[in-house]
Structure 1
């Protein structure tokens, strides 16, 4: 058994912090210190992988390093987190992606700001639709989509804030794929904590 690199993808201008496959299509996403998220797809004609879109080159993008990304359960929305202390929600037309070459454009939908005081290192979107974020301010935040229908387009709101979730930076947050409302977090304080969300939003 061996592991062979059949292609090297280049395009980011600084450190690449994370890669993530799309949950239902053969498309790769990457995020970087260069403030961007890149989307990579395979060319059906020559089997070469190439960048089909770069998110962050407009005023709606992050203004500092992008640390992590996560998809919702349908795969039509993505959340990213950054040194700029924001989380950004992006969306795409999943039906066009599945029927075409996967190159339907991803667009900025919403920005969550003012909820963390230092770098946001980690973000994860649960199958129930709850976004968790962990940051260098030792805190965890939970967000959900605001479904009151009062405005055009999706908006998101704070569901819960947990200050001093750890004694040092929260480096990673991850929802359980088996138990609804169960969240794990990891920290520079040398601990891992498992949390239970007592009441899930309707």
Structure 2
């Protein structure tokens, strides 16, 4: 099952007024980006081993950086470790968007971050050696909200025929499921939804037809779970983050 090993507020200390729409892990596994309805993108660094509380000192809202205590890690994100009983806090912010930031996505191999917003714009960010800057912005690129995901293998499925091989009906909730993420290391599937719960599933191939097994439910968030995502680095593949309407980002460890 999942064990919670971290919790912090996207907008600021104990501020539960900001929805967190999404989190996205950097391909290296130690950097996490988050976005929400406060028009900001924040970057968090996992300094040390999982389970220690971290302090974010950079986020995307102003082109400035305030350093209190900390150091640059190998990916040049400044972080500070704090006692486990303290909350996460933000020391400086950058905010190029004018409305909710709905999605953030890291480049598959480079230290490049992309965000898209209800303001119909896309922003690209890169560290220039001293500060985080907007490398490129595309304004008015869509007349409505757009959601995009990358296809790493770049294979077209236009002419393929898809069929359902397994189905699981969640019967003990009337709320929608908003997010699903598949762990490529252990094949555990996690979902988040409107009932504030995270559910775990696994595909069993022991029989002739694949079967979806329900592993368990975790309900720590107070409101909707908008997004869940596994860490892409095999070294940290047991780490899951969840983003919620309660303003928190929670870090979970899978115990099998």
Paired residue total: 119
Give the number of the structure with larger relative contact order, counting CA–CA contacts within 8 Å between residues 6 or more apart.
2
User: CA offset at residue 138 of structure 1?
Assistant: 0.8
Report the equivalent of 1:53.
6
2:28 aligns with one of 49, 54, 74: 74
Report the equivalent of 2:182.
none
> Which has more strand, going by share of residues?
1
Q: Find the aligned partners of 2:122 and 2:54 in 1 and give their Cα distance.
A: 27
Unaligned runs of at least 5 residues, structure 2: 62-94, 155-256
Report the equivalent of 1:116.
97
Is the Cα contact below 8 Å between 2:24 and 2:106 reproduced in 1? yes
2:120 aligns with one of 138, 145, 154: 138
The answer as to 2:57 corresponding to 1:104 is: no
The answer as to 2:129 corresponding to 1:147 is: yes
The answer as to 2:61 corresponding to 1:85 is: no
Unaligned runs of at least 5 residues, structure 1: 1-47, 149-154, 180-202
TM-score normalized by the length of structure 2 = 0.42
SS in 2 for 1:142: strand
TM-score normalized by the length of structure 1 = 0.52
RMSD: 2.4
Report the CA distance shift for 1:160/1:89 in structure 2 as closer, same or farther (over 3 A): same
